[in-house]
Amino acid sequence: MDEIAVLIGGKAGEGINIAGSVVVRLIAGCGLRAAMYYDYPSLIKGGHNFAVIRGAVKQPYCHREGLDLVLALDQETVRRHQGRLRAGGGVIYDTGRVRGVEGTGLPLDEIVKEEGAPAVTRNMGLIGAFCKTCAIPWETVETVLRRAVPKAVEANLQVAKRGYEAAEMGRPLPTPTAGGAVLPALTGNEAVALGLVEAGLEGYIAYPMTPSSSILHFLAARQEEFGTSVVHPENEISVMLMALGAAYAGRRVAVGTSGGGFCLMTEGFSLAGMAELPVVVVLAQRPGPSTGVPTYSGQGDLLFALSAGQGEFPRPVAAPATLEEAWYWTGALLDLAWRFQTPAVLLTDKNLGEGMYTFHGAPRRPPLPSVRWDGDGDYRRYAPGPDGVSPLADPGTTGVIVKVNSYTHDERGITVEDQATVARMAKKRKEKEKAMAEVLMGYPSVVTTGDPAAKTALLCWGSTAGVCTEAARDLGLRVVRPVVLSPFPTEQFSAALKGAGQVIAVEENLDGQLARLVRAEGHRVDAMVGKYDGRPFFIEDLERRLKEVGA
């Protein structure tokens, strides 16, 4: 066995997310690679929450239908998920809440009471039993829990020890490859936050909106450590306008939101395009429209991100698929926004942002400094420059007036309406887009996995990359994935798709938004496999769907 799948479930308020993250770190602490998907309704208490963790010798980025262990804090977990157990699988459960199940039962209420521990530590009893079942040494368990549990560490350890002692040794975890390093585990949102900080973030401004909220929480808790300002204004309109003010003042800023919040930001986003103000928008997608399904995932905002805001202005848009790409492209977009003085959009979703994965290290980006005014002559904020980029000066510079304007303006920032200037400034903005496309030729803007010579190519973007890559490996297919979606990397994409006889788009939306974009760029897409219920593809599910369309 080279992988294991574990599900822990219960009600909202029972610490399922934390418990899942602890299981990820325990598996990673044994030298394996891991991925977690967290499923929860939009409720503070009640409902059904579960986290499913897949540990493997090779890095997983998606999940299978089958499970090896179900850790059940309530009857609903057994009812929903017991049928997914593979041959040889088992259930570890709370005897006080679950009936009619064979497996390892623990009287968790009694254990918690005897240890004088908070009720929420019940989940640690199941985790302790899981560790014994999988032959994880207690020393590893204690080390991981001391690092991963946010509070009441000793109480959590005592409850976990009781579960460990009550269980029997079962099937051990897969054996990692020789020399496999123990890797840290991060969520996608933590990787986004760290990528921003590494690229010089000075301010993060956001109104909480799932699934982007944990970026705000993560950065707010570490303001002093990172040297950033973190602000939570009253709404998303204020978020964008505050960010533009900070950018005008010379601070590298980013904002975070989901689709509904970005709707409110679009007028300010368009202002950034006209005033040539750099700001990065982290747009974490959820199924929509409107409020949609707040705690689930989708890929329905691509075309919105490409066309948001009135008028025509450039904006780099990128959609990472992994932690490493989230780190890299968040920083790259911050660099691009400042180099070309334009807003930028990082498209993520719940599956990446709130999912947790083992992290393989931060990749390095090409240096891309902003264009600064050299202090020579009369300063004009929108003066002509190479590639349509005007040299920047900060407000407060002696003898300099830095004027920005939402109206069409001349080189000094003064409102104009004459034909020649209107046309000239429009062309100036277009020059930046062309130059941006040339710069991005030096970035990994298109990623190809699977068999590069296969005649059938899967076309995907964002977090669907993981399941497409594994399905392609099983079926002998090629995967072509544009990471940069604007300006579209035409040359790299054409090269990656060369020789493909059949192109199948795999997207978590109904309309095939990437397929529409690719067709608009002059490429053929033969079939579409969509999922739009808010849940990610299982590998087996995608493989069945691909065979139905002739892959």
- Each residue's pLDDT tens digit, 419-442: 999 999 999 999 999 999 999 999
Whole-angstrom Cα Rg for the chain: 25
Burial category of 385 from C-beta neighbours within 10 Å (exposed 0-12, middle 13-18, buried 19 and up):
middle
Please report which confidence band the pLDDT of residue 44 belongs to, taking 50, 70 and 90 as the band edges. confident
Chain length of the chain: 551
Give the mean pLDDT of 19-30: 97
Please report which confidence band the pLDDT of residue 2 belongs to, taking 50, 70 and 90 as the band edges. confident
What is the arrangement of strands in the sheet containing 46-56, beginning at the earlier edge strand? 104-106, 85-94, 67-72, 3-12, 46-56, 33-39, 356-358, 185-187
Helix ranges (H only) for 149-222 are: 153-166, 188-198, 213-220
Q: What is the pLDDT of residue 181?
A: 86
Q: Please state, in angstroms and as integers, the Cα–Cα distance from residue 317 to each residue in 13, 305, 488, following that order.
A: 36, 7, 9
Give the mean pLDDT of 78-106: 96
Q: Where are the beta strands (DSSP E) in 401-490?
A: 446-450, 456-459, 478-482, 484-486
SS3 of residue 449 by DSSP: strand
**CATH class label, 186-358:** alpha beta
Tokens of 366: 């090409």
What proportion of the chain, given as a percentage, has pLDDT over 70?
99
Q: What is the pLDDT of residue 179?
A: 66
Mean pLDDT, all residues of the chain: 96
Burial category of 249 from C-beta neighbours within 10 Å (exposed 0-12, middle 13-18, buried 19 and up):
middle
Q: Which fold has domain 3-166?
A: Pyruvate-ferredoxin Oxidoreductase; domain 3 (3.40.920)
Give the mean pLDDT of 133-156: 94
Using alpha carbons only, give the angle 157, 181, 7 rounded to the nearest 5 degrees.
Answer: 50
For residues 334 and 254, what is the distance between their CA atoms, to the nearest angstrom?
A: 8
Is residue 318 within 8 A of residue 329, CB to CB? The reply is: yes
What proportion of the chain, given as a percentage, has pLDDT over 90?
94
Q: What is the pLDDT of residue 46?
A: 85
Is residue 327 within 8 A of residue 192, CB to CB? The reply is: yes
Q: What is the pLDDT of residue 73?
A: 98
SS3 of residue 56 by DSSP: strand
Residue 180 has pLDDT above 80, yes or no: no
Could you report the per-residue pLDDT of 272-313, keeping only the tens digit for each? 999 999 999 999 999 999 999 999 999 999 999 999 999 999
Domain ranges of the chain: 3-166, 186-358, 446-548
Is residue 159 within 8 A of residue 112, CB to CB? The reply is: yes
Could you report the per-residue pLDDT of 233-261, keeping only the tens digit for each? 999 999 999 999 999 999 999 999 999 99
Give the mean pLDDT of 346-350: 98
Sign of CA dihedral 351, 357, 363, 367: positive
SS3 of residue 54 by DSSP: strand
SS3 of residue 395 by DSSP: coil
Q: Using the 8-state DSSP alphabet, how is residue 392 labeled?
A: B
SS3 of residue 397 by DSSP: coil
Count helices and strands in the chain by DSSP H and E runs: 19, 20
Closest C-alpha to 238, from 273, 206, 283: 206
> Which secondary structure element, helix H or strand E, spans residue 9, and what is its range?
strand 3-12
Q: What is the pLDDT of residue 150?
A: 83
Q: What is the pLDDT of residue 178?
A: 66
Q: Which residues contact 141 (CB under 8 A, 6 or more apart)?
A: 26, 128, 131, 160, 164
For residues 94 and 111, what is the distance between their CA atoms, to the nearest angstrom?
A: 11
Please report, as a single letter, which amino acid is at residue 164.
Y
Closest C-alpha to 163, from 26, 286, 55: 26
Q: What is the pLDDT of residue 207?
A: 98
Q: Is 200 left (phi over 0), alpha (psi -120 to 50) or beta?
A: left
For residues 243 and 282, what is the distance between their CA atoms, to the nearest angstrom?
A: 13
User: pTM for the full model?
Assistant: 0.96
Tokens of 203: 């301010």
Please report which confidence band the pLDDT of residue 463 belongs to, taking 50, 70 and 90 as the band edges. very high
Tokens of 451: 């068999």
Give the mean pLDDT of 507-533: 97
Closest C-alpha to 291, from 256, 263, 319: 263
Q: Do domains 3-166 and 446-548 have the same CATH topology?
A: no
Name the pairing type of β-strands 185-187 and 356-358. antiparallel
What is the arrangement of strands in the sheet containing 456-459, beginning at the earlier edge strand? 446-450, 478-482, 456-459, 502-507, 527-530
Residue 154 has pLDDT above 90, yes or no: yes
Q: What is the pLDDT of residue 1?
A: 64
Tokens of 416: 């104009």
Tokens of 544: 């069945």
Q: Which fold has domain 446-548?
A: Rossmann fold (3.40.50)
Tokens of 270: 């368009």
Q: Give backbone dihedrals phi and psi of 81, rounded to 5 degrees, phi first.
A: -120, -10
Q: Which residues contact 275 (CB under 8 A, 6 or more apart)?
A: 244, 248, 404, 405, 406
Please report, as a single letter, which amino acid is at residue 372.
R
